[in-house]
Amino acid sequence: MEGHAWIVNVARGRHIVTDDLVWALTNGVIGGAALDVTDPEPLPDDHPLWSLPNCIITPHVGNTPDMAVPLLSERIAVNVRRFASGDDLLGPIHVELGY
């Protein structure tokens, strides 16, 4: 890929070798990455992709309403149970970090 090219992945996280992507982004081999899926998913909080200015990560929302509604409903139900039992929520939003 050329240095100005961006890679976009809305399919499967494993289609991209994550360590190689981090290297390519860090070393300017490619211009950037826009990822709706990652490997691993979810990314650990300390993963280097979170801090790269040329990487945009969305919360796995690149799907159709027919696919999203059941998944969202399940996530809400799970998080309500987790909240009620005092457990950490899945997929928290960190406004201060911009996501």
Closest CA to 8 of 78, 68, 58, 77: 58
pLDDT tens, 73-91? 899 999 999 999 999 999 8
Q: Could you tell me the pLDDT band of residue 64, with boundaries at 50, 70 and 90?
A: confident
Active site residues: 12, 41, 60
Can you tell me the distance from the alpha carbon of 68 to that of 89, in angstroms, rounded to the nearest whole number? 19
Helix (H, G, I), strand (E, B) or coil at 6: strand
Whole-angstrom CA distances from 12 to 39, 81, 96 are 8, 28, 28
Pairing type for strands 6-9 and 32-35 reads parallel
Q: Could you tell me the pLDDT band of residue 99, with boundaries at 50, 70 and 90?
A: low
Q: Is the pTM of this model over 0.75?
A: no
